[in-house]
Amino acid sequence: MRFVIVGGGIAGVSAAQALKKESPASEVHILSEESLPLYYRPRLIDYLAGEVSLESLVVYPEDWYSAQGIHLHLGQKVTEIDVTAGRVLTATGERVPYDALLLATGARPFLPPIEGLQEGPPIYVLRTASDAQSLRKAAQEASGALVLGGGLLGLEAGRSLTKLGLSVTIVEAAPQLLPRQLDQEAAEILRRRLESMGLAFVLGRPVERVVAGEAPGGKGGGVAGGPVKRGITLFLQGGDAIAADVLLVASGVRSRVELAVAAGCTVERGVVVDDHLATTVAGLYAAGDVAQHRGVVYGIWPPAMEQGRAAGAAMAGHARPYRGSVKSHQLKVAGVDVVSVGEIDPRHELEEEVIADPASGVYRRLIKKDGRLQGAILVGDISGFRELQRQIEQEALA
């Protein structure tokens, strides 16, 4: 059997490992458009801050793949899937046949539909190693930066930019930080801690227009002021403006579904898959950030790994159904530990146990339903996190 995996991230590599384990004699090919083998994407922020090299983020060097019997093809972008012929076409003109194919194409940064917002200096995104290199080079020549988005990536990247000596303002349309992971109380404690460490925030102020180059109304690092000469200016709802040398857009991601759509797969937010990670087209599977399982696109590392393993086993004919994952986020910004697991119940409709000490920056909230643990939010003190996560997963996936 000949298996082809499109994408060399954690989902694709986990699937390749499972395939070789379940079917040692099979031929496994990974086609990756990136120049590096699998690297730990969440730690690109450490590279951005100048704390590690890109090479140190590589999980498995190229010779590891050879030793595993996996054929790794770097710099190979797949442009088309010929389902009838059972082969893929690459940008270099190669035709690669397959018996079963896994789409592990991941996701791309989302640019909100804001006038003037388009990728290209002085506007940057942060998803790949190449993105990180471009942003780091620009940051080394800048004094101030704006970050559009107060989610996980925005906060971590913002802190990394401050380590390079930049003044950083994070702009978030929602009235709080981490709106998908924290309730309002936890978000407020986190904001105060981060402000004390030098980060500035503009919350609840959607951006209406983006102008590159010199523009009136902004003052680097702050709202309002006179004309300034900066690389980028954001005009906010209400008439104020804010300017800086560079802008990082950290407004989430969208699944890369183009190949799946062209191949005839059912696609919603992601490529729809069943518990075996099979798509609606025979012989095609999907896993990781591109896949939508039971209505959910997870977009984080652990579920991508689990899905990849399940997909590889299914492709090899040894199905081990994937039942879903509990969303779990762990963040550390400037020494502030933040954990969000499972149901966060932002409206406080469920049972809860809360310990809040804003003065010390500690907030612990356990969310329960009928006495059973459903979720947890921890800020400042994350002791017992692993045990709480285990209990929540047991309840959710029972």
Contact predicate 127/150, CB 8 Å: no
Question: How far apart (Å, rounded) are the C-alpha atoms in residues 356 and 365?
Answer: 8
| pLDDT over threshold 60, residue 229 | no
Give the SS3 label for residue 103: strand
| pLDDT over threshold 80, residue 8 | yes
Two tokens at 132? 């990180």
* pLDDT reported for residue 361: 85
Q: What angle do CA 97, 280, 299 make, to 5 degrees?
A: 90
Region 31-43: mean pLDDT is 96
User: Of 232, 202, 204, which is closest to residue 218 (Cα–Cα)?
Assistant: 232
Q: What is the largest CA-CA distance in the chain?
A: 69
- The band of 359, judged by pLDDT with boundaries at 50, 70 and 90, is confident
* pLDDT reported for residue 398: 64
Question: How far apart (Å, rounded) are the C-alpha atoms in residues 197 and 39?
Answer: 30
Question: How far apart (Å, rounded) are the C-alpha atoms in residues 307 and 392?
Answer: 19
Question: How far apart (Å, rounded) are the C-alpha atoms in residues 144 and 221?
Answer: 6
Contact predicate 260/286, CB 8 Å: yes
For 304-355, give the DSSP string: HHHHHHHHHHHHTT----------EEEEEETTEEEEEEE---TT--SEEEEE
User: Of 287, 45, 272, 54, which is closest to residue 160 (Cα–Cα)?
Assistant: 45
Question: How far apart (Å, rounded) are the C-alpha atoms in residues 272 and 279?
Answer: 6
Per 3-state DSSP, the chain is made up of helix, strand and coil in percentages (nearest 5) of 25, 35, 40
* pLDDT reported for residue 214: 58
* pLDDT reported for residue 115: 95
| pLDDT over threshold 90, residue 345 | no
Backbone angles phi, psi at 389, to 5 degrees: -60, -45
Residue 387 CA: distances (Å) to CA of 4, 327, 344, 376: 38, 15, 17, 11
Backbone angles phi, psi at 64, to 5 degrees: -65, -40
* pLDDT reported for residue 334: 64
Question: How far apart (Å, rounded) are the C-alpha atoms in residues 162 and 375?
Answer: 32
Two tokens at 352? 């809860």
- The band of 4, judged by pLDDT with boundaries at 50, 70 and 90, is very high
Of 79-88, 139-148, 205-214, 272-281, least confident by mean pLDDT is 205-214
Question: How far apart (Å, rounded) are the C-alpha atoms in residues 158 and 325?
Answer: 28
Region 366-389: mean pLDDT is 91
Give the SS3 label for residue 376: strand
pLDDT in tens, 296-326: 999 999 999 999 999 999 999 998 999 999 8
Contact predicate 97/2, CB 8 Å: yes
Region 348-352: mean pLDDT is 91
- The band of 180, judged by pLDDT with boundaries at 50, 70 and 90, is confident
User: Of 10, 3, 1, which is closest to residue 306 (Cα–Cα)?
Assistant: 10
* pLDDT reported for residue 249: 98
Question: How far apart (Å, rounded) are the C-alpha atoms in residues 245 and 166?
Answer: 10
Contact predicate 389/326, CB 8 Å: yes
* pLDDT reported for residue 332: 76
* pLDDT reported for residue 129: 96
Q: Domains in the chain and their CATH numbers?
A: 2-108+253-315 (3.50.50.60), 123-249 (3.50.50.60), 328-396 (3.30.390.30)
- The band of 201, judged by pLDDT with boundaries at 50, 70 and 90, is very high
| pLDDT over threshold 70, residue 225 | no
pLDDT in tens, 74-132: 999 999 999 999 999 999 999 999 999 999 999 999 999 999 999 899 999 999 999 99
Interhelix angle 10-22/301-315, rounded to 10 degrees, is 30
Of 64-78, 121-135, 187-201, least confident by mean pLDDT is 187-201
Contact predicate 9/106, CB 8 Å: yes
Of 37-41, 243-247, 286-290, 357-361, least confident by mean pLDDT is 357-361
Entry pTM: 0.90
DSSP state of 76: -
H helical segments located in the chain: 10-22, 44-48, 62-68, 129-139, 152-163, 184-195, 258-263, 301-315, 385-396
Residue 371 contacts by C-beta under 8 Å, 6 or more apart in sequence? 351
Q: Name the more confident of 394 and 289.
A: 289
Of 3-7, 69-73, 88-92, 323-327, least confident by mean pLDDT is 323-327
Give the SS3 label for residue 105: coil
| pLDDT over threshold 70, residue 215 | no
Give the SS3 label for residue 84: coil
